[in-house]
Structure 1
């Protein structure tokens, strides 16, 4: 059964009122009700108070005022109620003006029948429903159903206006999912879309009704926390608490079909009040800027906007522009740091480390430009260039058993990664068994099964794998048990303090024992003293790498160092 129609009739002639009433009765029987008013002022007040499905408006009694009435209700009050004019005269000019003002139809009273009024009303209601759907699409994300950026900015502007007369503080949180692109690229858009839907559900479930969560696009979400405290310090504390809850909630695994997925996120926060903020775009920009600072600081981090961040953003944008030009110009050089046997001192291999030789700024550390390359997507062409260069230079190292090359998480999970590596091997005529691919824990976070499959495919070609920076992540042991690694590298942070800190010495000893138990080759990174080397030897590590042995040096110096070591 259809819902009862709620109709407002503006008509001051009793005879015409009876005609309309009769047509409505025959068309909709008892499935309608209507209120009758005789003045436009009363009509406006009724529309503000009542939720009418339709307004029937007599043109003869209202004329130009009726046109202004429609404009006021629809364009100023933003009440999207269908309005139909009823007229005694066939006035084309009036018809056009009525339709231009926003009316749905213009009916002649002498042609009014139960059928004609029913068709006009049903068409108007259908048209209204279509407009509401279009309006919804314009202000909501089609995938998750959350408000989109347009609706968020509208709500943010309303918040700024509402609180412009006092100092109550609000907060805007800008969320970016750290591992989403890896998941989307490796497992497909369907899995990625389902993950975004589940993320939106979790966010909505933990936020209060006063908060607004929106998805502007991609793997980003924005949360508006209006009027959370009078004091800025208290507002910051509450925003931090909510952000911590969000991080905890989204850190729990997502079960999507056969996949158990883990994601991290970076959160940028901007505090604002009506008196100290110029516009919604400024608040949004500040939160976005803080989010990039959080991303640079590491996964599951929140950063609040500070004025000095804008300088950092400008620097990073300039760096990214330079990096974009540097790749085709090949402004990069590989430095090599040897790895030696802790017992014999023989050179077992070397790690290839990239340096950017900027034409104006000189040598730039990878700590400065690799994060920019990953965030911008330039890591794919840059990573391919680094790997190709290492393969080409391997021909100059005939007596070096193996070279290890770092592979970023985004690079590893690119759909064409294996094909790219395979093509470079063919182009450079290098045997894969002379190459070791170093992965960090973040490369495994997206999907262990997919990671294992790709690693096994590359191992079947002859490549070996090293797990870098072991001990810095909470689930490295899981990866070691499920993934086909050959080498385990102890993070330098543990080696640095083994002589002074018993806890670090204990961790390093445990890692070496674990590696040996799993039949892995254990490498100690960050060896800077003879004591470090002796410690690794005593505990049973296989090889060492660090400044005590050699700093990273260009290819020609590495060859000279190796020659001298063999002859000296």
Structure 2
């Protein structure tokens, strides 16, 4: 039997096309209509080699030599891979997949595009292009995490809190339960930063975060608002207002005492003073803004009461704070616009002459 000879022109053309394929940095593989290997570039061969597979295995689909998962980590059946879908549906399929190495179990995330190769006689195969997007996905996840978690303490941040609070209020209304929002402010953080530096201040913030996490039940949440302020979401903290007040007082006492004795900087106990303000939902409001304002008013009351205490919001609190604020505003305005008039009480000697005066 005479061996078929490929004309040199065709051989040169095939060689050139293979060079073009090998020059592409992304893995490319060509399969027949059953998904069996036909050709590939060097990038694909290296991928299969690292995955611990045999790309020349002719017994089944080319993708049988790899473990392929979806983005959620579920193992894909061959018919649900990009190649399987492209061949069965006879259309281009784009899908993000995870390819896990059988050698070192390292997982990489790939964007896969499988395009069927069609002729007048139907689908004759498919071409698959892969692009490694692991670094991009990692960057996106890191960015998303920074958007919702504090970088210093790893606690959920203000953005996370803004999403959680309305949901918790709605849950309380639907279930008829009472939850509490507590603002916690570190009273002496500025003094620590000034005396020991911001590194020491960061150590205190992380230590406070860890202390709060250990003292709160697993179902409750701790958020860092930024600076020296934390927010505690205490769920189902009582059936009545009195019971809630007792439970919050007990919790705040534990927090205050722990921060006074459990914070260490350079093997030295650093007593931390904190003030807390609480509002109960939905007792003190059915809207997030109302609850926030109530807890903030309670915190201001606690700080003005000598610090290191808990204050629970009540309706007269806002009016008093608003009155004080308005009075301060009027005083500032009067000072700026020369609104003060000084009255002097004259002083006389025995002869009736004015010898001095005192402001009255």
* Aligned residue in 1 for 2:127: 110
TM-score, normalised via structure 1 length: 0.42
CA contact 1:203–1:246 (8 Å) conserved in 2: yes
Contact 2:181 / 2:232 at 8 angstroms: preserved in 1?
A: yes
Distance 1:325 1:130, change over 3 A: same
Q: 1:556 to 1:83 in 2, by over 3 A?
A: farther
CA contact (8 A) 1:57 1:83 kept: no
Question: Paired residue for 1:137?
Answer: 146
Classify 1:202/1:19 alpha carbon distance in 2 versus 1 (closer, same or farther; 3 Å).
farther
TM-score, normalised with respect to structure 2: 0.63
Match of 1:87 among 90, 114, 122: 114
CA distance in 1, matches of 2:178, 2:331: 39
Distance 1:86 1:141 in 2: 37
Q: Aligned residue for 1:497?
A: none
Task: Name the counterpart of 1:51.
Answer: 73
The C-alpha deviation readout for 1:421-469, integer Å capped at 9, x for no partner, is xxxxxxxxxxxxxxxxxxxxxxxxxxxxxxxxxxxxxxxxxxxxxxxxx
CA shift for structure 1 position 241 = 1.3
> Contact 2:158/2:225 (CA < 8 Å) preserved in 1?
yes
CA distance in 2, matches of 1:197, 1:241: 23
User: Hey, what does 2:326 align to over in structure 1?
Assistant: 318
Corresponding residue number in structure 1 for 2:250: 241
Relative to structure 1, is the Cα distance of residues 14 and 65 closer, same or farther in structure 2, using a 3 angstrom cutoff?
Answer: closer
For residues 323 and 190 of structure 1, what CA distance do their matches in structure 2 show?
Answer: 39
Change (3 A) 1:556 1:159: same
CA, structure 1 residues 276+253, in 2 after alignment: closer, same or farther (shift >3 Å)?
closer
Alpha-carbon distance change, 109 to 66 in structure 1, aligned in 2, over 3 angstroms: closer
Give, in angstroms, the shift of residue 251 of structure 1. Answer: 1.9
Residues 124 and 181 of structure 1: CA distance in aligned 2, closer, same or farther (over 3 Å): same
Q: Secondary structure at the match of 2:235?
A: strand
Structure number with higher helix proportion:
1
Matched, 1:557 2:327: no
TM-superposition CA deviations, 1:25-81 (whole Å, max 9, x none): 54512696336xxxxxxx8xxx7xx534999546756799978x99xxxxxxxxxx9
Contact 1:56 1:83 in 2 (8 A): no
- Mapping 1:153-232, distance limit 5 Å: 153-232=162-241
Q: Deviations over 1:156-191 (max 9, x none)?
A: 233234444221111111011122222223332222
Question: What SS does the corresponding residue of 2:203 show, helix, strand or coil?
Answer: helix
Aligned residues: 278
Separation in 1, partners of 2:126, 2:293: 56
Match of 1:28 among 39, 51, 57: 51
Measure the CA separation in 2 of the matches of 1:237 and 1:201.
24
Q: CA deviation at 1:263?
A: 2.7
**1:15 aligned partner:** 34
Q: Aligned residue for 1:307?
A: 315
Q: Name the CA shift for 1:306/1:33 in 2 (closer, same or farther; >3 Å).
A: same
Q: Is the CA contact 1:56–1:85 (under 8 Å) kept in the aligned structure 2?
A: no
Task: Tell me which residue corresponds to 2:137.
Answer: 128
Shift in alpha-carbon separation, 1:250–1:129, aligned structure 2, 3 A: same
Cα deviation per residue 1:347-398 (whole Å; 9 max; x = unaligned)?
A: xxxxxxxxxx6x7xx99xxxxxxxxxxxxxxxxxxxxxxxxxxxxxxxxxxx
3-state SS of the aligned residue for 2:176? coil
Structure 1, gaps ≥5 residues long:
1-12, 36-42, 71-80, 91-107, 332-356, 364-554, 559-568
Mind listing any 5+ residue stretches in structure 2 that lack a counterpart? 1-31, 54-64, 97-107, 118-124, 344-355
Specify whether residues 322 and 209 from structure 1 end up closer, same or farther in structure 2 by C-alpha distance, changes over 3 A only: same
**RMSD value over aligned CA atoms?**
4.2
Matched with 1:490 is none
Is the contact made by 2:149 and 2:160 (CA closer than 8 Å) also made in structure 1?
yes
1:200 deviates by: 1.4
Distance (Å, rounded) in 2 between the aligned partners of 1:57 and 1:223:
46
Structure 1 residue 211, shift from structure 2 partner: 1.4
Show the 5 A alignment for 1:365-384: none
Q: Is the 8 A contact 1:86 1:109 kept in 2?
A: no
Distance in 1 of aligned mates of 2:276 and 2:206: 19
What is the CA-CA distance between 1:151 and the residue it aligns to?
1.0
Displacement of 1:83 in angstroms is: 7.2
